[in-house]
Amino acid sequence: MENRSERSRRDFLKGGAAGLVTALLGGVSQPMADHSKEFAILQDTTRCSFCEKCVGACEKRHGGEHPGTFYTQVTLTYPQGKEARPLPVSTRCMHCFDSPCTRVCEGKALTKTVLGAVTWDEDRCIGCLSCVSVCPFPKSLHYEPSQGKVYKCDMCYDRIVAGANPACVDICHAYGYDSLSFGPFDEMRELGMQKAREINGVLLYPGQTHTLILFAPEALNTTMMSRLFGFTREYSVETILKADVTQVAHFGWIPVLGGLIYYGLKWRKNRIEQPPERPRKEQ
């Protein structure tokens, strides 16, 4: 008949195994939100003038000119060579639908919100860089060594909750460039696709991200854009796989701990079952 200690050990191991499976599988697949409630930023690279007003507005919005306060940047590229017209490309977090960064963040500093934005909590960031390792877009996340933290665009989440535009969008409109637009996701996707049809251009990731980027057909040099920004015509499916692997790797200590507990219990059981040593007779 099974004694209490054996039953307790069996229940412990079964419970641990069930917990491990739940932890590993939890978050691997997330239900898709209703896009009608979400927002998006549409970036038209054909209208960017390289004024960098958006960078200044971002710095001012997030605390001033010191490390970790700007979450957007503009890079001057030459897709057609130095002799051709340069192309400014404004970059920020892409706010992916199935955001790999939120799934691997060890400090739980990153959150995918119902409005589409991926928000970031500075106080919870531990600088583990797991998010950087899985993000397919090199200029989306900014690690600041002096702070030991990662910084990113949060789509000015508090502003959009209050019904306002992100700071970068407002400043772009104020100067009449209209390279950046903001609004409900469905409207921004339709506007981007309409513009793409008009110029026979390419709208990146209308089904995968909440930052939509429009390129003229001759500007999307796959090699350059992939190397500098991670931009390709199709969203990288390897990104999701890499996030899954990283997420599972975070639980690598669980089997080790389980093994230590198992052998500890086994050692204790053997000690209990081992007959006591007989005292030696004095000669």
Cα separation values, 33 from 37, 91, 97, 112, 116, Å:
8, 24, 9, 10, 9
Cα separation values, 161 from 124, 152, 255, Å:
22, 18, 42
Q: What are phi and psi of 162, to 5 degrees?
A: -85, 0
Helix (H) or strand (E) segment spanning residue 261? helix 253-273
Q: Which of helix, strand or coil describes residue 36?
A: helix
Tokens standing for 31? 């239900």
Domains plus CATH for the chain?
49-166+221-249 (3.30.70.20)
Residue type, 99: S
Looking at residue 183, its pLDDT comes to 97
Q: pLDDT truncated to tens, each residue of the chain (283 aa)?
A: 444 444 444 444 444 443 443 344 444 334 444 566 899 999 999 999 999 999 999 999 988 766 677 789 999 999 888 888 899 999 999 999 999 999 899 999 999 999 999 999 989 999 999 999 999 999 999 998 888 999 999 999 999 999 999 999 999 999 999 999 999 999 999 999 999 999 999 999 999 999 999 999 888 877 889 999 999 888 877 655 655 555 555 544 445 445 455 555 655 656 565 555 555 555 5
Looking at residue 268, its pLDDT comes to 62
- Is the distance from CB of 68 to CB of 149 less than 8 angstroms? yes
